[in-house]
Structure 1
Amino acid sequence: MEFRKTALTCAFATLFAVSGVAGAQSGGGQEGGAPPPEQQGAMPGADVDLSEGTIDDFVDAFVEVQKVNEDFAQRLEDATDAEEAQALHQEAQEEMVQAVEDTGMNAEEYNEVAMALQNDPELLDQVVQMAEERQ
């Protein structure tokens, strides 16, 4: 059980970094994934839609993000220099954002659900189980 939560948390952290990339790609984001000024100071997970449909979309997105993460893990380990590793990391992040968007969510929504799940261990356990069933 602890291993599953650790893997899920690592995947969340991976996409958290992506939100800055997604925002920069859309032209209106802030570097580093900082929340817009109107959201700064808000409680993490506040006002997040955790309906069955959103959770279902999140699980689909999470499974796809994991596939991208696994695909790039070995390639990153085999990188011969920092420049190559940075390029691969950027490519992986872009593919993760696309995988999330292909499920109907965006990176910001995905990250909001991920943070809310970290504050709800029971729902997190359900999400982990759902993700394992879909892999």
Structure 2
Amino acid sequence: MTIRKTALTIALAALFAAGGSAFAQSSGGGAGQAPMPGETTPQTAALTDETVDTFVDAFVAVQEIREDFTERLQSASDESEAQAMQQEAQEKMMQAVEASGMSVQEYNEVAIALQSDPELMQQVQEKAADRM
């Protein structure tokens, strides 16, 4: 269980090391834009338990795809094939997020919110560890 939790912590850290938005190019922009008056930022928006659960489901699905493609990338014969695999992986991750009932933009917003909320991060880690 400790190894699984450590792997999960590393996976979450890797997600956030990339700026917290694994799918930034596909989120339709919005990243880095200031909120309109009256809007809340992801850090100030209250995340419901349902939203967190949906995020965890999406995160687990994304991790499974990432692990699968990481193994497949080892056998890539050249850079072109590796790039095609990475593109395919990104598309499958986006589909997995949307299949969980969350848009890619919502997924990114929750991921960003987790960076500033250690308690919520712990909650997500525990739920994801139970589902992996």
Amino acid at match of 1:50: L
Name segments (4+ residues, structure 1) moved above 6 Å. none
Partner of 1:72: 69
Paired positions, count:
125
Structure 2 distance, partners of 1:15, 1:77, is 25
Unaligned stretches of 5+ residues in structure 1: 24-28
Q: TM-score, normalised by structure 2?
A: 0.80
Q: TM-score, normalised by structure 1?
A: 0.78
- Please provide the CA RMSD for this pair: 2.7
Structure 2 distance, partners of 1:48, 1:77, is 40
Partner of 2:23: 18
Q: Name the structure, 1 or 2, with higher relative contact order (CA <8 Å, separation 6+).
A: 2
- Listed as ranges, the matches of 1:48-59 within 5 Å are 48-59=45-56
Task: Verify: 1:134 aligned to 2:131, yes or no.
Answer: yes
- Listed as ranges, the matches of 1:1-135 within 5 Å are 3-12=7-16, 13=18, 16-20=21-25, 22-23=26-27, 29-30=28-29, 35=31, 37=33, 39=35, 45-135=42-132
Structure 1 distance, partners of 2:97, 2:20, is 9
Unaligned stretches of 5+ residues in structure 2: none
Q: Which has the higher helix share?
A: 1
